């Protein structure tokens, strides 16, 4: 794994990680994940003792929203990559004491095997994560802890107290359209607002 750059998004703890692909006339080879390169990268500020323990994959048809999801106890950090398709990856800061509490970060990702790099999204613990699907897509993500249903919470992406205003206008327009038209699970529709989250027992795990 050779990381070219780490670019902060609207909440600067969320970053786009650009990783090298080695190309020739046959195609490309990529080291998708190396724990030592990730855990020791100076821009990611990872707590000592962190380990990646699980990898998940989802497949979605177009015009779907998955999320916004957060797990605490253990608090999960995620490394998200797009395998096929076209998505907007979204992370909302829900750390109660954070100066960017409520701020939405987002980046548009398109799977393109001709590029000499791959962009992945670093979503640290304390951020509710979601996928806004523009075309049928497969997404994979590594996480620093096992799934724990008792620590899982959904934040409704349509909650009025999420701050989308920091997104570039073209990206905000796409997000707004999907919020109005995309399919969501019943669980995600029942997700809470940020105000309700502040009062939730699990919010104390994020400070």
What does the pLDDT average to over 125-132? 97
Q: Respond yes or no on whether the N-terminal peptide bond of residue 68 is cis (omega within 30° of 0).
A: yes
Q: How far is CA 30 from the centre of its chain?
A: 21
Calculate the dihedral angle through the C-alpha atoms of 169, 137, 24, 121, rounding to the nearest 10 degrees: 50
154 pLDDT higher than 90: yes
Q: What is the pLDDT of residues 39-86, one digit of tens each?
A: 889 988 788 788 999 999 999 999 999 999 999 989 999 999 999 999
Q: Give the residue carrying structure tokens 């049928």.
A: 136
For range 155-165, the mean pLDDT: 97
Active site residue 86: no
* CA pair distance 197, 207, nearest whole angstrom: 12
How do the domains of the chain map onto residue ranges?
Answer: 3-200
The topology under which CATH files domain 3-200 is Jelly Rolls (2.60.120)
pLDDT above 90 for 172: yes
CA dist 9 and 187 (Å) reads 27
Whether the pLDDT of residue 10 is over 80: the answer is: yes
Phi-psi region of 63 (alpha: psi -120 to 50; beta: other; left: phi over 0): left
Work out the mean pLDDT of the chain and round it to a whole number.
95
The pLDDT, as a whole number, for residue 47 is 80
Q: Which of 141, 146, 166, 205 is catalytic?
A: 141
Burial of 42 (0-12, 13-18, 19+ CB in 10 A): exposed
Q: Would residue 69 show up in a list of annotated catalytic residues for this protein? A: yes
pLDDT in tens, 95-121: 999 999 999 999 999 999 999 999 999
Radius of gyration of the chain (CA): 16
Largest CA distance in the chain: 56
What pTM did the predictor assign? 0.93
The stretch 181-206 carries a mean pLDDT of 95
DSSP-derived 3-state class of residue 43: coil
Q: Which of 93, 95, 75, 105 is nearest to 171 (CA)?
A: 105
Catalytic residue (choose from 69, 86, 117, 146): 69
Token pair, residue 100, equals: 């960017």
Select from 161, 120, 128, 108 the least CA-distant residue to 11.
Answer: 128
What are the distances in angstroms from CA 131 to CA 4, 82, 142, 187, 202? 24, 10, 15, 15, 23
């Amino acid at each position: 794994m050779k990381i070219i750059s780490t670019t902060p998004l609207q909440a600067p703890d969320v970053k786009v990680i650009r990783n090298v692909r080695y190309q020739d006339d046959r195609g490309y080879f990529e080291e998708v994940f190396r724990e030592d390169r990730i855990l020791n990268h100076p821009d990611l500020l990872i707590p000592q003792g962190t380990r990646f323990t699980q990898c998940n994959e989802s497949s979605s048809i177009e015009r779907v929203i998955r999320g916004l999801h957060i797990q605490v106890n253990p608090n999960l950090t995620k490394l998200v990559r797009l395998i096929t398709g076209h998505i907007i990856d979204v992370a909302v800061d829900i750390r109660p004491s954070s100066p960017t509490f409520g701020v939405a970060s987002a980046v548009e990702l398109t799977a393109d095997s001709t590029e000499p790099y791959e962009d992945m999204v670093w979503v640290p613990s304390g951020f509710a994560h979601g996928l806004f699907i523009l075309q049928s897509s497969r997404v994979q993500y590594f996480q620093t802890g096992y799934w724990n249903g008792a620590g899982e919470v959904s934040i409704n992406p349509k909650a009025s107290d999420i701050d989308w205003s920091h997104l570039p206008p073209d990206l905000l327009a796409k997000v707004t359209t999907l919020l109005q038209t995309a399919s969501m699970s019943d669980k995600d529709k029942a997700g809470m607002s940020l105000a309700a989250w502040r009062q939730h027992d699990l919010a104390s795990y994020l400070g």
